[in-house]
Amino acid sequence: MDFSFTKKEEAFREELRTWLETHLPAGWLEGNRQLPEDLNEYSAFLRNWQRKLYEGGWAAIAWPEKYGGRNATLMEEIIYQQEMVRVKAPPLVNYVGIHMVAPTLMQIGTEAQKEAYIHKILTGEEVWCQGYSEPNAGSDLTAIQTTAIKDGDKWVINGQKVWTSFGHLADRCFLLARTSKGEKKHKGITVFLLDMDQPGVETRPIIQMDGKHDFNEVYLTDAIAYDADIVGEVDEGWRVMIALLMHERTGIGGQVFTLEQQFADLVVLTKELQEDGRPLLKQPFVRKTMVDLYARTRGSLLNYYRNLTKTLKNGQPGAEGSMDKLIVSELTKDLFAQSISMQGHRGLLWQEDAIYGDSYWQENYLYSFGMTIGGGTSEVQRNTIAERILGLPKDMGR
């Protein structure tokens, strides 16, 4: 058992820290972290940040060097996430491009695809979105109804995607469409690299319950893709998706480290909040709740480290990632619910009327409800844990 980092790892951390100190947007480290409201400015801001990361060699550290990465070790990726969380760095607008599309193309893409897309993903010149979910297919992606029909070297695509994060900013989409109806439902799905900038693609905003607009509906009406835009084989998209999961070797690291930080913020809040002239944190009832949350927060981090150790030893992530996802998303919800509840009735006040921290608590509270849905719902994680780790019988209908 050893929690220390090697000299090389520490040096890596130092290098990144130094870089961040000089390259984060002006005032960022001092707490001026507001993102622009206006969509175009927002988009420009995030793309600009990614461009800076690219120029510093920090946009896609896990990629091989020949594609502009650093061939980073798993531990370096972890350190990278820790440091990004520590400075509350702006979000990576091209997350889907860097962590999903490019690694997949490197593994199974054609030379032309690699040539066309990988570099532009790295620089932030082309932003990608993920077009999986549909109105009738969420947890069960085998039920997708978007169709792609071959017409010469073209594919004509019709259907609707939904909850497409960053779809309104994206230039291209990593899209799942049905190309044939097979015996087995997961057969006959194909992955396309779709150009979002064409008449057949219409993006409409969806406003989330936190008042924000991160995800969208995407309507596909005779949208066009070409043979050259297919990843892997026609009808074999499911395999592409499985291969893709294997690249997610850091799992939910970023969220674990964020949670640690949010818990520390909660402690500060419970010290600031007063009841009868004393910090709320002095009340036995609150102390119990906070010690419980402390144990669960530590537990989620330590579980993550234990699973990471397994990944380091086995070379690839196992089903334990489902446990991490379930634990962290559920705990985040509980943590923010607690933060609101402890502020009393005033906890309802938000935006410019929030009593603490610029609406931080209210916004994160509302946002937290999406965490147990996006990226696989808690119920789906429980199925995975029960079936793949404990060997319980599969769900009915599957």
Partner 1 sequence: MDFSLSEEQEMFGNYVRKYLADKGETKIAREFIKGNTEHYQSIFSGLVELGCTAINVPEEHGGMGLGALDLVPVLEEMGRNVLPGLYVETNAFAVPILEKFGTEEQKQKYLPGIAEGSQTFSIAWLEPGGSYKPSDIRMTAKIEGEDILLNGTKSLVPDARLASSLIVPVRTAGEEGKTGISLVILDLSDQTQLRGQKNIDESRHLAELTLEDIRIDKGQLLGPLHQGWEVLEEGLLAANAALVSIMVGGMDKVVEMAAEYAKIRVQFGQPIGRFQAIKHRIADMKVELETARSLAYYANWALETEAEDRVQAIFSARLFAAEAFNRAAGHNVQIHGGIGFTEEIDCHLFVKRARFYENYLGSSYDYYQKAASALGW
State the minimum distance, in angstroms, from the CB of residue 307 to partner 1: 9
Name the binder of 165 from partner 1, ligand FAD, none, CB < 5-8 A by kind: ligand FAD
DSSP 6: P
H/E stretch holding 7:
helix 7-23
Contacts of 201 (CB under 8 A, 6+ apart): 173, 194, 195, 218, 219, 220, 223
Residue 217, beta-bridge partner list: 204
Neighbouring CB atoms inside 10 A of 86's CB total 15
State the minimum distance, in angstroms, from the CB of residue 372 to partner 1: 13
First and final CA of the chain: distance in angstroms? 40
Q: Calculate the CA 238 to chain-centre distance.
A: 20
Q: Does 253 bind ligand FAD (CB under 6 A)?
A: no
The one catalytic residue among 9, 77, 217, 248: 248
DSSP 66: G
Q: Does 165 bind ligand FAD (CB under 6 A)?
A: yes
Neighbouring CB atoms inside 10 A of 360's CB total 16
State the minimum distance, in angstroms, from the CB of residue 381 to ligand FAD: 9
Q: With CB under 6 A as the contact rule, which of the stretches 177-185, 251-259, 340-348, 371-379 interacts with ligand FAD?
A: 371-379
Measured CA to CA, the distance from residue 20 to residue 15 in angstroms comes to: 9
Whether 257 and 81 have beta carbons less than 8 Å apart is answered as: yes
Q: Does 326 bind partner 1 (CB under 8 A)?
A: yes
Measured CA to CA, the distance from residue 229 to residue 226 in angstroms comes to: 5
- Does 248 qualify as catalytic in the annotation? yes
Interface mask (CB under 6 A) for ligand FAD, residues 178-217, using x and -? -------------------------------------x--
Measured CA to CA, the distance from residue 379 to residue 19 in angstroms comes to: 41
State the minimum distance, in angstroms, from the CB of residue 47 to partner 1: 34
Interface residue list for partner 1 (CB under 8 A): 1-5, 75, 78, 267, 271, 281-282, 284, 287-288, 290-292, 294-296, 298-300, 302-303, 305-306, 308-310, 312, 320, 323, 326-327, 379, 381-383, 385-386, 389-396
Interface residue list for ligand FAD (CB under 6 A): 130-133, 138-139, 163-165, 215, 370, 373-374, 376-377, 379-380, 383, 395
Q: Which residues are catalytic?
A: 248
